[in-house]
Amino acid sequence: DTEVTQTPKHLVMGMTNKKSLKCEQHMGHRAMYWYKQKAKKPPELMFVYSYEKLSINESVPSRFSPECPNSSLLNLHLHALQPEDSALYLCASSQFPGLAGGLITGELFFGEGSRLTVL
C-alpha cells in the first residue's frame, strides 16, 4: 500500500466547474510534488513545495492552483479547465528537498494518482 494517499481516484468535471485534488502523507517528508501524466508518457513536473513553501512552478497555467496547508497535506485546486487537461495527476513526496527545490538523491514516493476527465 502506498503511503501517499490521493483523493479522489477519479474525477469528471465540466469546463466551468471548480474542484480540488487532495494528497496526504504521514512519512514526515518535507517536499511534496504535483505531476501530470498523459497515457504511456512520463510524469511532467508541475509544482514543488519545500518545507510548505512553493519552490518550483513549471510555468503551469493559473487554472491550476496548488496549496500546502501543512507539512502533510497538498491540494490542487482546479478551475475553468480545458479538455486537454484530462490526465492522471500524481502527488509525490520526498524526505528532503534538494538544492533549489530539486533533489540530490531523494527518492520520490508517489500516490496512486487522480484520474481527471474534463468534458
Partner 1 sequence: TQLLEQSPQFLSIQEGENLTVYCNSSSVFSSLQWYRQEPGEGPVLLVTVVTGGEVKKLKRLTFQFGDARKDSSLHITAAQPGDTGLYLCAGVNAGGTSYGKLTFGQGTILTVHP
Least Å distance, CB 66 to partner 1, is 18
Residue range at the interface with partner 1 (CB under 8 A); choices 13-21, 62-70, 72-80, 94-102: 94-102
Least Å distance, CB 7 to partner 1, is 13
Closer to partner 1 by Cβ: residue 63 or 115: 115
Q: Among candidates 108, 118, 119, 117, which has minimal Cα distance to 23?
A: 108
Coil vs helix vs strand at 26: coil
If binding is defined by CB under 8 A, does position 100 make contact with partner 1? yes
DSSP state letters, 42-85: --EEEEEEETTEEEEE-S--TTEEEEEEETTEEEEEEES--GGG
Residues found near partner 1 in the complex (CB under 8 A): 2, 4, 6, 40-43, 45, 90, 92, 98-105, 107-113, 115
